[in-house]
Amino acid sequence: GAVVSQHPSRVICKSGTSVKIECRSLDFQATTMFWYRQFPKQSLMLMATSNEGSKATYEQGVEKDKFLINHASLTLSTLTVTSAHPEDSSFYICSARENRGPYEQYFGPGTRLTVT
Amino acid sequence: GQQLNQSPQSMFIQEGEDVSMNCTSSSIFNTWLWYKQDPGEGPVLLIALYKAGELTSNGRLTAQFGITRKDSFLNISASIPSDVGIYFCAGQRRNNNDMRFGAGTRLTVKP
């Protein structure tokens, strides 16, 4: 089956630093990947849609200069949280959509970010 | 914000009981999906529904795509302890770039 990996699974960083999270589709190509954020006991909220070779599309209220997305290849998208603050602490989940029908999305295992 | 209303928010049941949860929307979706999320993990796809009226099973799970395309339900029969987790519905529109999630149903199964 289609597998999506994320790295790291957990990261703790200090306020003001930047953190990069990787999302990889391991056995399929994904022109489109998605980044979600999930707070405890809440649902997934779409942050941005990442398109290979072009700029990401951000959801309303998500700062593009704070959450930098790079989708440089058909199997890798990265999310960089810049100048992190404690309120950025959350569970970040990516998904990758197959390039062929039925275009299902497969989710990564998530990255737990804690900003101290 | 959320466009899907998922209920119930939580369920506490005995092992062996059947479970039913549903999602409704104010707008039409072309695809309905049901995911299960274990603590600290990403969601795992359980069932995908592509046509209005479609009824699909996956083992003890059965899901239906409502005829109006604005709702879906998921049934779990003869629940077991490993069914514990959070179940999310998701609706996807035709362009496939717009998938929205329900708030989730937290299922607890007592042995």
- Among candidates A6, A41, A43 on the partner chain, residue whose Cβ is nearest the Cβ of B88: A43
Q: Distance between CA A50 and CA A1 in Å, rounded? A: 22
CB of B35 closer than 8 Å to CB of B99: no
How far the first Cα of chain A sits from its last, in Å, is 37
Query: Is pLDDT of A33 > 50?
Result: yes
**Tens digit of each residue's pLDDT (9 = 90 or more) over B35-87:** 999 988 999 999 999 999 999 999 999 999 999 999 999 999 999 999 999 99
- pLDDT at A99 (0 to 100): 80
Q: Distance between CA A67 and CA B71 in Å, rounded? A: 33
Query: Is pLDDT of A20 > 90?
Result: yes
Q: Distance between CA B59 and CA A98 in Å, rounded? A: 25
- pLDDT at B60 (0 to 100): 97
Instruction: Give chain B's mean pLDDT.
Output: 92
- pLDDT at B1 (0 to 100): 46
Query: Is pLDDT of B2 > 60?
Result: no
- pLDDT at A5 (0 to 100): 96
How far the first Cα of chain B sits from its last, in Å, is 36
| Interval A16-37 mean pLDDT | 94
- Alpha-carbon A90 to chain mean position: 12
- pLDDT at A83 (0 to 100): 96
Using DSSP's 3-state secondary structure scheme, residue A87 falls into: helix
Per-residue pLDDT band for B96 (boundaries 50, 70, 90) equals: low
**Tens digit of each residue's pLDDT (9 = 90 or more) over A35-92:** 999 998 888 999 999 988 889 999 999 999 999 999 989 999 999 999 999 999 999 9
Tokens at A99, concatenated: 């390039």
For residue B30, which residues of chain A lie inside 8 Å, CB to CB? none
Q: Distance between CA A89 and CA A85 in Å, rounded? A: 7
**Tens digit of each residue's pLDDT (9 = 90 or more) over A63-79:** 999 999 999 899 999 99
- pLDDT at A24 (0 to 100): 96
Per-residue CA distances from A84 to A21, A24, A87, B75 (Å): 13, 23, 8, 41
Q: What is the 3-state secondary structure (H, E, C) of chain B?
A: CCCEEEECCEEEEECCCCEEEEEEECCCCCEEEEEEECCCCCCEEEEEECCCCCEEEECCEEEEECCCCCEEEEEECCCCHHHCEEEEEEEECCCCCCEEECCCEEEEEEC
Q: Among candidates A105, A28, A18, which has minimal Cα distance to B101?
A: A105
For residue A34, which residues of chain B lie inside 8 Å, CB to CB? 99
A33 beta partners? A50, A96
Omega of the bond prior to A109 within 30 degrees of 0, cis? no
Q: Which residue from A minimizes the CA distance to B85?
A: A41
Query: Is pLDDT of A1 > 70?
Result: no
Tokens at B21, concatenated: 């949860």
Q: Which of residues 16-55 of A touch B (CB under 8 A)?
A: 32, 34, 41-46, 49
